[in-house]
Amino acid sequence: MHRNNVVARGASDVLRKLDRFGASKKKRTATGSHLRIVILGIVFLIVVPPSRFVSSNLLLGSLYSAKMHLKAPEHQVAGHIAKDGKPGPLVDDKGRFFKPLQGDSRGEIEVKFYESFSSNTEVPDHIRRYFPAYHGTQAVEGSDGAAMIVLDNLLSKYSKPSVMDVKMGSRTWYPEASEEYIQKCLRKDARSTTVSSGFRISGFEVSTPDSAFASSVYGGSNGVLTQLLELKTWFENQTFYHFNSCSILIIYENESVHDDGARAQVKLVDFAHVHDGNGVIDHNFLGGLCSFINFIRDILQSSDESTEN
């Protein structure tokens, strides 16, 4: 079969599968250079003009350079954005990502997790690479002194990144959640594949549909599938944490998909609902991870069959 026909058919297959797992509507930007996805009626991928909030910052008690201008991230596919006077996430030009602390106890829980994880000597180094590096917290001047978690910007070394955010687990609330919050989660989960499949695709950005599940990205010794399997091995044994409502972020360089330069990365993000594992395996996250691995395998197999035909 001619390659263009294979690509066209593969793209259609991918978009149908993404439809099924949460990406219910697709929308192109004015330039047509990227797909923009509307999930559950919410536009997740919004390019916000450079922030007017910050021109200088105090980082970990030291003066943060006044020349370091912060701006909204260009490739945010899910999560909180600036709204109703509340700041959204920001990035600088030094490879740092600034995430606002969420209200009530969620921000405190996320900071507690990062500090615990950073100092936990029983977490092996080959697993640490799947988590963003933590650089403490920062009070941001110009936005009512809002505290932010400072992390590595996972996209800073990519010129044209493709990104997918996958919410893991068939239960997205934490054990101590109020009945009102649980019902809110149940309503949202019921409109997606969270309950039936153990994960949902919260949002994604790809330049071309056929690259969304390219075998060069997801297969191979350094591909996404290999990384997910390494994570799975750890989750089959780790009992330190329960990762309620966490996401797996998949990143690769779209410009190099077909020449082995995609530099695929798998990262865990969003830890505002993490709780102590208390010696018990996190079956909720592990079950979703196993289901997502099977989903990837199914797509890779379908792609191979399309190429052969």
- Render pLDDT for 154-209 as a digit per residue (tens, 0 to 9): 887 877 788 888 999 998 888 778 889 888 888 888 877 888 888 988 877 776 65
- Is this prediction's pTM over 0.85? no
Instruction: Encode pLDDT of 144-156 as tens digits.
Output: 567 788 998 888 7
* Contact criterion met (CB below 8 Å) for 78 and 247: yes
Same domain, yes or no, for 79 and 140? yes
Q: Taking CA 137 as the corner, what is the angle to CA 132 and CA 143, rounded to the nearest 5 degrees?
A: 115
Domain count across the chain: 2
Of the chain, the percentage scoring pLDDT greater than 70 comes to 62
Are 61 and 207 contained in the same domain? no
Are residues 28 and 102 both part of a single domain? no
**Long-range contacts, stretch 22-25, CB < 8 angstroms, 24+ apart:** 22/192, 22/193, 22/200, 22/201, 22/202, 23/201, 23/203, 23/204
User: What share of the chain in percent tops pLDDT 90?
Assistant: 30
Burial of 233: CB neighbours in 10 Å, binned 0-12, 13-18, 19+: exposed
Are residue 148 and residue 161 in the same domain, yes or no? no
Indicate the pLDDT class of residue 122, thresholds 50, 70 and 90: very high
Q: Is residue 50 in some structural domain?
A: no
In a domain, 75, yes or no: yes
| Residues spanned by the domain of 11 | 3-45+156-308
Report yes or no on 52 lying in a domain: no
Last residue of a domain, one of 127, 152, 177: 152
Q: What is the pLDDT of residue 160?
A: 79
**CA 106 – CA 91 distance, rounded (Å):** 21
Last residue of a domain, one of 120, 152, 184: 152
DSSP structural state of residue 293 = H
Residue where a domain stops, chosen among 152, 177, 195:
152
Cα torsion 207, 208, 210, 216 to 10°: value is: -40
Question: Which of 306, 298, 271, 302 lies closest to 197 in space, CA to CA?
Answer: 298
Residue 38 lies in a domain: yes
H-only helix segments in 147-256 = 179-190, 194-197, 215-218, 224-235
Same domain, 94 and 177: no
More confident site: 297 or 139:
297
Are 118 and 134 in contact, with CB atoms under 8 Å apart? yes
| 242 and 167 within one domain | yes
Is residue 51 domain-resident?
no
Q: Quick one: 235 and 176 in the same domain? A: yes
In this structure, what CATH number is given to the domain that contains residue 212? 3.30.470.160
State whether 170 and 284 are in the same domain: yes
* Residues 84, 27 within the same domain: no
Q: Are 22 and 192 in contact (CB under 8 A)?
A: yes
214 and 113 fall within a common domain: no
270 or 51, which is more confident?
A: 270
Residue-level pLDDT at 259: 58
Both 165 and 225 in one domain: the answer is: yes
Q: Are 215 and 34 in contact (CB under 8 A)?
A: no
User: Quick check: is 78 in a domain?
Assistant: yes
- Mean residue pLDDT across the chain: 72
Whether residues 72 and 197 fall in one domain = no
Instruction: Answer yes or no: is 262 within a domain.
Output: yes
**What residues have CB less than 8 Å from 75, skipping those under 6 apart?**
45, 155, 161, 163, 205
